[in-house]
Each structure stands twice: as C-alpha cells, then as structure tokens.
Amino acid sequence: MKTWGITNAGLVRSENQDAYAVFQTGAFHAAVVCDGMGGTNGGRVASAIAVSRFEEELRSALRDNMTAAQVRQAMLSAIACANDAIRQEAARNAEYQHMGTTLVCAVTRPDMAIIGNIGDSRAYHVGKGGIRQVTKDHSLVQMMVDRGDLTPEVAKSYPGKNFITRAIGTETTVLCDIFHLDVGKGDYLLLCSDGLSNLLDDQEILFEVVHGVYKQNCCKRLLNIAKNRGAPDNVTAILLMNI
C-alpha cells in the first residue's frame, strides 16, 4: 500500500480545524481524517485529540492474523476511546464544552479494507468499475435527500448543508457506520473532509486519481482545484493505493 496526505486551511478560514494521520502497523495501513467543530479553538482541539487517540489505540490493538471482524472491533474501540478523550478534555475546560469532530477512517490489508464513518467526511473507492462513494453523510441535508425532499444536485448548495447529525465527542456513545470492502491490486481509497467533497464531484475526483501522472501529487492537485474554486473551508485528503 502506498499512501499520501495533505491538509490546508483553505482561502477563507484563519485556522485549520482538520487533522489527519496515515500510519502502518504490521501488515496494516491505516488512515483517519477528522474535521473539527466547536468554536475558535474547540474544533482544532477535538480533531487533534481524535486523530491522536485513534492512532494510539489502533497501533496497540492490531495484530497481523486478525480476522475482518476483529479488525472491525479494534476500529470501533479506537473510535470509542477517541470519543471519551474529547469528552474528558471538554469537561476539564469550559472553552471546549461543545467541541466535536467528524471522523472517517480506513484500515487496510492487501485483500481488504474496513471503513468507518461519523459525520460528513467521506471515503471513496476507485477501482475498475470507476468511483463509488463508500460512506453516507450524517447530515440534515442527506436526510432530506433520503426522504426525497431534495435531489442530490440541489443538496450540494442547499443552505445548512454542513449541519451534521453525528459527531465524535458530543455524546457519551457514538454510532459509527462500518463498511467492508474487497480491494484489488491498483485500487484506490480516498478519504477527505467536506472542504474537498463540497467543491469537486465524483467524476472530477476520479479523473485526478486515475489519470494524474504522478500519484504522489494527487492530493495536492485536488487541493489546488479546491483553492481555484475559493476553498471556503479547510481541505484535507488522503489517498491510499493498493500495490
């Protein structure tokens, strides 16, 4: 597995409240993207805590001979620990009382990938069949799309698009969606915050991932497109390539 990542404050926000990590432990490669919320400092603190604690817990839990079910449980435990760590910090500091963060993560081996998601940061799978959004946004706008009140096209620019219905750190327990994928040689996974996915459609992402000559520059190219479109939010992207 080859991996690349990038994060940037964008062109409007003065602070980058996104955080990410890409790491290898034994036979596994893992990645996580968090997009914080909760005031001037709270979002930055929440995303940083979530990424750090998630990585720490997964590194200690993963073993090469684990089954997919065991990997799934290790991921859920790491997310629960991240949730607790944010809540504990918020309890110690009133300034962080309402902080929280989205989280999207992937744990991969050459034969499989397990994706976890809370909030509206996303995971995409790019393979022989094209691009597919693996995760589903936990947002009010997505609920309206599911009910048939909005089309996906209208939802892209609908007011209140960023109101999320799930987050890490805001409740004592957190409900995480888990997805199991079969990945083939040459397949890609892209994890990103909504600062990217709000500005690029699936086919644009597919083109940059598949047709870009230098894969190590893919995340930077995606960031540059977001900047050329104003980048009103923080932008984070991680690309994983199954070699």
Q: What is the mean pLDDT of residues 83-93?
A: 96
pLDDT for 110 equals 87
Please, what is the angle between helix 202-211 and helix 218-228, to 10°?
140
Q: How far is it, in rounded angstroms, from Cα 192 to Cα 104?
A: 8
Q: What is the mean pLDDT of residues 147-155?
A: 88
> What are the tens digits of pLDDT across the range 23-48?
999 999 999 999 999 776 799 999 99
pLDDT for 38 equals 77
Percent of the chain with pLDDT over 70: 99
Give how far Cα 6 sits from Cα of 18, 93, 103, Å: 10, 30, 16
Count of helices and strands (H, E) across the chain: 7, 11
> What are the tens digits of pLDDT across the range 181-229?
999 999 999 999 999 999 999 999 999 999 877 889 999 999 999 999 9
Q: How far is it, in rounded angstroms, from Cα 82 to Cα 136?
A: 21
**What Rg do the C-alpha atoms of the chain give, in angstroms?**
17
